[in-house]
Amino acid sequence: MQYARIRIRIVITTWVIGKKLRNGLKYSRVTILPDTLCIHLKRFRHDFAFSSKISSKVTFPLVDLDMAPWLHKDSASKVSLYDLSGVICHHGSAGGGHYTAYALNPIDEDWYEFDDSTVTKVDPGTVMSAEAYVLFYRKNGTSNEAYREKMQSLLALNQESPSLIKFYVSRQWINKFETFAEPGPIDNSDFLCHHGGVLPSKTSFVLDLCVALPQQVWEHLHSTFGGGPACTRLYECANCRAELDALTRQKKFELEEFKTLHQEFQVSVLKGIPSKEE
């Protein structure tokens, strides 16, 4: 893999230390690795009025792209391996061209070429020899499989002896848990306020935003991923409701004040214009 075009900069620079010039090395490292890594190769060069295409051959792996060398030592990301899931190719010149794409079907695990309305099954070698423009890598998610299986077995167990207490967890976070390699800590802030109640603006559709889980499942998820806060009861936050009502009243008051002042201003302007008879 040629990393040179990735925007992870390593810059040799000159520092002024104690009035003396010293050579230094300035570099950037990644602190969080995303679940989907998008690598945009610089295929077009723009010099003043001229544009040209860079058609250099760039090789890339289909599996096990390791981002570990670019990871900051304090990074929370534990998984650094990625597998290719899609490629965008550009055919033609800087003046005009045509885009095609390759994508991996996760069901049959075959690669397909997408060229306008034509879809063709291709072998992995064809993908590897493509003149890639944009590469899409997905973080290797096998490490999370065990947690998902454990959750399914706990849910099955709950069918036999249902938990009396339900814990509400963000549906958005559950989606991450089911599809991401590293979903990060549980984050219920998309429906809970910092007081622990439901955000007044979300009360009417809060059940669309969260999932009720048995206590054993919550304990499994919370002990594995942390985060929260824990929520066993959905109620609108009285503090946030009072704040929202005060804000709504203030906005209404300001709008009425603005209308009155605007009206007074228009009347005074009209009074200032001499009539045609004068």
Whole-number Å distance between alpha carbons of 122 and 111: 6
Instruction: Give whichever of 54 and 238 is closer to Zn ion, judged by the CB atom.
Output: 238
Instruction: Give whichever of 36 and 248 is closer to Zn ion, judged by the CB atom.
Output: 248
Q: Which of 193, 209, 210, 217 binds Zn ion (CB under 5 A)?
A: 193
Instruction: Give whichever of 165 and 242 is closer to Zn ion, judged by the CB atom.
Output: 242
Segment lying near Zn ion (by CB under 5 A), choices 23-31, 38-46, 191-199, 265-273: 191-199
Whole-number Å distance between alpha carbons of 202 and 206: 6
Instruction: Give whichever of 158 and 189 is closer to Zn ion, judged by the CB atom.
Output: 189
CB of 195 to Zn ion, least distance (A): 3
Amino acid making up residue 119:
V
Interaction with Zn ion in 202-241: which residues (CB under 5 A)?
237, 239-240
Kindly report whether the peptide bond that precedes residue 229 is cis, defined as omega within 30 degrees of 0: yes
Contacts of 212 (CB under 8 A, 6+ apart): 166, 167, 168
Segment lying near Zn ion (by CB under 5 A), choices 59-67, 185-193, 200-208, 269-277: 185-193
CB of 225 to Zn ion, least distance (A): 24
Residue count of the chain, please give it.
278
CB of 229 to Zn ion, least distance (A): 12
Whole-number Å distance between alpha carbons of 127 and 110: 11
CB of 154 to Zn ion, least distance (A): 31
Using the rule CB under 5 A, is 89 a contact of Zn ion? Answer: no
218 to each of 164, 167, 221, how far by Cα in Å? 13, 6, 5
CB 127 within 8 A of CB 102: yes
Q: Which of 22, 42, 195, 252 binds Zn ion (CB under 5 A)?
A: 195
Instruction: Give whichever of 115 and 236 is closer to Zn ion, judged by the CB atom.
Output: 236
| C-alpha Rg value of the chain to the nearest Å | 29
CB of 240 to Zn ion, least distance (A): 3
- In 3D space, the residue among 145, 150, 108, 100 whose CA is nearest the CA of residue 126 turns out to be 100
Instruction: Give whichever of 86 and 197 is closer to Zn ion, judged by the CB atom.
Output: 197
What distance, in Å, lies between the first and last C-alpha atoms of the chain?
A: 84
Residues that bind Zn ion (CB under 5 A): 193, 195, 197, 237, 239-240
